[in-house]
A and B are shown apart, each in its own frame.
Chain A
Amino acid sequence: MNSISLLAVAPKHLFENGDLLVSSIVVIIKVVVAFALLLVGVMLYIWGMRKWIADMQNRVGPATAGPFGILQTLADGIKLFFKEQTIPSTAHRSVFRLAPYLSITPAFLMFCVVPIGGEVSILGRQTTLQVVDLPFGAMFVLACSGVGVYGVILAGWSSGSKYPLLGSVRASAQLLSYEAAFGLGLLGALIHTGTLSTSEIAKAQFWHGPASLFGNGGVAGQAGWNFFPAIGAFFIFIIAALAETNHPPFDLVEAEQELVGGFVTEYSGIRFAIFFLAEFMNVITMCAIATTLFLGGPSGPALWPSKVGAHGVINVWLMPIIWFAGKTIMLTYGTVWLRAATPRMRYDKLMAFCWKYLIEAAILWIMFEIALEIGRSQGWSTAGRFTLAGATAVGCGLLYGLLMLCVPKPGETVEEFR
């Protein structure tokens, strides 16, 4: 059952169809499970992150609450929940209260389009393991990451104090800029599958042996993972996604050396917790989306060839989820490396990096991929396709070089340039 068709048809149509009740139950189960999964995921991610960073810094990390300190996040959450909440006297009270929820809602909604497993049947209904299978899931991701900006911006503005405001002005410029690169990175995966639906994208990258790691390899009818065919787009997507989620080294929004705490300076208690819940939810969701778009989603070798019986249940239900979770955890582990190992960027360098290098690189890569795709749809040989794509890339690069000759270099005044 699809939310669009729910809205678009009259109630009469729905009741004639008869299984409205069952569909509703399935949808509710999915929503609750996804929400719980995301909350537990965030809890474990924060714990794991602190442990991994501690490892990299030769410390022990959280160790007292529960085995290996695994309950540390829960303890922190309970503490924050019962802490007194303060609102500054200069704050815009209504917006101040609203901001955390504007942050967390898109963070959760974005996860709803990610397929976390294969096609299964729940209560006799054949369904993909995702909350909602939108026909334009990839664009829904873009919309959610765009709307998610409001939480940060309004939190800083409504605090009624200088540093949060500076943080939120930084946030609005940074997030708008990286949104462009983010969209182009996304496009890199969409070119290969030719659909906007996340479940279709995941299905197109099905597993047919180790060759599927390397994309289709020119074999007709055998798709594969988008990772190698769209490797440039993958890295552009990851960089832009990290900037979109204010992840180090792009966390200028809350740079504590410059801005105290950035947009969350005036927040305390559960509202503060909600902001950080949203931020870590976003990191997990971005990794999950990168997995879906580029790393084949839930596809991977099954344990047994069978699809029926006890082995079938494991193959159909369990293995895709394990593959998906494994890939996502691997990517989140990578983000923890970045958090521990990279120093924060300077703000002007951050913006220059996006507008002068990342977006250009993304456009160049997209042109290269499009040329390859066109060559394939025309049935050209591999050599011909790569010649065309290379020529396109070189042409775009030359055009960029010409453009750069027309503007002054950094540090050069307009007079010197003339």
Chain B
Amino acid sequence: MNALLLAATKDVVAFHVNPVLFYALAAIAIAGATGVVISRNPVHSALFLVMTMIIIAVFFLTLSAPMVAIVQVIVYASAIVVLFLFVIMLLGIDRHEMLATDDRKYQRPAGAALGLLTLGGLIATVIGNWQLGPQTSSGRALSAIPTLDGVASTTAGETDQIRPLARTLFTQFAWQFQVTAVLLVIAVVGAVVLARRSTRPARTEVSA
């Protein structure tokens, strides 16, 4: 078992992803992403989003990054989309008439422009970093992710994939980590302020 994993991370070269697996997963991921956009029902969109997230988690697994994969599932596929569904169900915005009335004039052109911009950026990034053949762990695209180097160089076993990640996160990127935490706190405080704005005697029990 260990020998296999070392074969996958050390001598190698290369993240040999099985091409059949890759294309099958890619097809599912793209189908899911398309479904998010073209579904008329927001709940169906959210479900397609879950599908895409989980397939992306499987991609992380194929790249020998199980930690990122599992965090992807915990954070995105479960917590965030459950929150989406909660809001959709609570506000009842899964009805078509509400979608039709809430259509501001500038929204669609602005959305299209932003979408094209993102697409352009993605294409430029992909073309700029395109390399034929297998990418080594010293390759350009991979060296952008510091944890992968830590993982690739360790020989202590599978469990130790987590230690380099934690060490990087809490030393090299400690500042960014804290700033992100503050960002979340600001969002929570903002939500509380918005929810408590009424001047009438407020019920003080905030049910989260």
Contact = CB atoms under 8 A, between A and B. Distances in A.
Given A8-B61, A8-B64, A348 B205 contact: yes
A136 B67 contact: yes
Nearest to B161: A135
A4 B70 contact: no
Nearest to A126: B1
Nearest to B207: A351
B66 A176 contact: no
Given A2-B5, A143-B73, A146-B74, A173 B208 contact: yes
B18 A139 contact: no
Given A4-B66, A7-B21, A411 B74 contact: no
Given A7-B21, A172-B82, A147 B77 contact: yes
A150 B53 CA distance: 14
Contacts of B1: 1-2, 5
A197 interface: yes
Interface residues of B, number: 48
A88 interface: no
B132 to A, nearest CB: 18
A303 interface: no
A172 B85 contact: yes
B204 A196 contact: no
A146 B207 contact: no
A177 B79 CA distance: 10
Interface string B60-71: 011110110011
A401 B1 CA distance: 51
B159 A195 contact: yes
Contacts of A408: 204
Contact of A176 (B16, B82, B162, B207): B82
Interface stretch (A9-17, A33-41, A328-336, A369-377): A9-17
A409 B21 contact: no
B26 interface: no
Nearest to B41: A92
Contacts of B78: 143, 146-147, 149, 179
Given A136-B70, A142-B74, A410-B204, A157 B85 contact: yes
Which of A136, A168, A176 is the most central at the interface, judged by chain B CB atoms within 10 Å of its CB? A136
Given A169-B90, A196-B162, A412-B204, A139 B74 contact: yes
A146 B77 contact: yes
B144 to A, nearest CB: 20
B4 interface: yes
Nearest to B71: A139
B7 A172 contact: no
B33 interface: no
Given A169-B90, A179-B79, A411 B204 contact: yes
A6 to B, nearest CB: 8
A146 B7 contact: no
Nearest to B84: A172
A119 interface: no
A200 B160 CA distance: 12
B82 A146 contact: yes
A176 B79 contact: yes
A197 B66 CA distance: 12
A348 B9 CA distance: 50
A415 interface: yes
Which of B41, B64, B85, B161 is the most central at the interface, judged by chain A CB atoms within 10 Å of its CB? B85
A8 B5 contact: yes
A140 interface: yes
A150 B81 CA distance: 9
A12 B134 CA distance: 15
Interface in B184-208: 196, 201-202, 204-205, 207-208
A8 B73 contact: no
Contacts of B18: 7, 10-11
A121 B64 CA distance: 27
A157 B196 contact: no
B16 A2 contact: no
Which of A7, A11, A200 is the most central at the interface, judged by chain B CB atoms within 10 Å of its CB? A7
A355 interface: yes
B89 A157 contact: yes
A17 B158 contact: no
A1 B64 CA distance: 15
A411 B205 CA distance: 8
Interface in A126-167: 134-136, 139-140, 142-143, 146-147, 149-150, 153-154, 157, 165
Contacts of B62: 7-8
B47 interface: yes
Given A5-B1, A143-B74, A414 B66 contact: no
A93 to B, nearest CB: 12
Contacts of A32: none
A352 interface: yes
Interface string B1-44: 10111011100000111100100000000000000000001011
Nearest to B50: A150
B141 interface: no
6 contacts: A1-B4, A2-B158, A5-B1, A8-B62, A8-B63, A348-B205
Interface of A: 1-2, 4-5, 7-14, 17, 92, 95, 134-136, 139-140, 142-143, 146-147, 149-150, 153-154, 157, 165, 168-169, 172-173, 175-177, 179, 195-197, 200, 347-348, 351-352, 355, 407-415
Given A154-B47, A169-B89, A414-B196, 6 more contacts: A8-B63, A10-B16, A135-B159, A146-B78, A172-B82, A413-B204
* Nearest 4 pairs of A and B residues by beta carbon: A146-B78, A10-B16, A135-B158, A5-B4
